[in-house]
Amino acid sequence: MGQRLLVISPIRNEAAHLERVARALAAQTRPPDLWLLVDDHSSDGTDEIAERLASEITFVAALRAPERPLLDPRDRLASAAAPQTFNFGLNGVDGTWFTHICKLDGDMELPPEYFQRILAEFDADESLGMAGGLRNERVHGRWRLERIPTEHHVNGALKCYSRECFEAIGGVQERLGWDTIDETTARMRGFRTRTFEDLIAIHHRPWGSADGTLRGRARYGAAAYIVHFPAYWVALRSLKIAAARPEGISGLAFFYGYVRAALRRTPRVEDREFRRAVHREIRARVVGKLPHPSRTVTG
């Protein structure tokens, strides 16, 4: 069977960006077989744009997610709204028909060869379970290419899975920290996870206010607690984050989120082997060498 690609975009209030994102997908040298636009109760007309795109582009379908309560109405990301919306879209199709599944944010403009390259990488390496590219963002008037550990991390905004890997990890969990949980579990199951630095997407989301940015830092700190990042690593990481704007206080917000989650006894990933895998990888990263997974490894 040839490769069949399903792309799911959980979207909310993306009216300013969705058109150009759609043009980029329509211009792909290897377009998706199906692109699901799943609207999560937008208030800016995003749902109407999605429905129009579905009538204009043959591989596009538009859905609306159901109403559901949020754990924190002030912070949809902390309430895992995006993975919930993603899973709603996935449950509406026969996922077994597709060989690859991609989560793509509605503000992410891809280069024309993106999917062709990603699928070629999967085809060339059967151990590759998760792959993506880098984001280029406009921050305070200047373009900035994100810096991530590309040898094992894949950004959740443009993450593609082989179906074999997706099934092995149990899909996308509907909880904060899902995009660390999935790639750690993938490596536990013997899959490689990798970002390709020459595939660069333009991220159109405008930079948030100081309050929004600090809330995001605290959210990432809470996620670090949930996935069992050790306190010493979080302390070191907070020093690095402190260099980001707003300087100093960003690192404090990250560490605060971690401590607050610990004091609140926020539920963590309960799998002991997962915790051991996280700590093993953190130690390897400290010494500068993350071991390659073996397909004989099990969780």
Asked whether residue 211 carries a pLDDT value surpassing 50, the answer given is no
Q: What count of other Cβ atoms lies within 10 Å of the Cβ of residue 20? A: 12
Do both 104 and 217 map to the same domain?
A: no
- In this prediction, residue 291 has a pLDDT band, given cuts at 50, 70 and 90, of low
Q: What count of other Cβ atoms lies within 10 Å of the Cβ of residue 75? A: 17
Q: How far apart are CA 156 and CA 83, in angstroms?
A: 10
Note the pLDDT of residue 208.
43
Q: What is the pLDDT of residues 218-273, one digit of tens each?
A: 999 999 999 999 999 999 999 989 887 788 899 999 999 999 999 999 999 999 99
Note the pLDDT of residue 141.
80
Structure-block tokens of residue 235? 């302390």
Angle in degrees, 0-180, between the axes of helices 249-263 and 210-226, rounded to the nearest 10: 40
Under DSSP, the state recorded for 150 is T
Q: Torsion angle of alpha carbons 103, 17, 76, 64, nearest 10°? A: -70
With a threshold of 0.75, does the pTM exceed it?
yes
Note the pLDDT of residue 147.
87
Residue 38, domain member (yes or no):
yes
Do both 165 and 254 map to the same domain?
A: no
Q: What count of other Cβ atoms lies within 10 Å of the Cβ of residue 239? A: 11
Note the pLDDT of residue 298.
33
Asked whether residue 178 carries a pLDDT value surpassing 90, the answer given is yes
CATH number at residue 102: 3.90.550.10
Closest CA to 162 of 235, 243, 99: 99
Contact 80, 42 (CB under 8 A): no
Contact 127, 110 (CB under 8 A): no
Report helix, strand or coil for 134. Answer: strand
Do both 65 and 149 map to the same domain?
A: yes
Do both 51 and 99 map to the same domain?
A: yes
Structure-block tokens of residue 79? 């309430």
Residue 216, domain member (yes or no):
yes
pLDDT: which is higher, 143 or 50: 50
Do both 199 and 215 map to the same domain?
A: no
Residue 293, domain member (yes or no):
no
pLDDT: which is higher, 152 or 195: 195
Query: What would the mean pLDDT of 145-173 be, rounded to a whole number?
Result: 94
Q: What residue numbers bound the domain in which 116 lies?
A: 5-203
Structure-block tokens of residue 191? 């899959």
Q: How far apart are CA 252 and CA 249, in angstroms?
A: 5
Note the pLDDT of residue 210.
38
Do both 252 and 145 map to the same domain?
A: no
Asked whether residue 207 carries a pLDDT value surpassing 50, the answer given is no
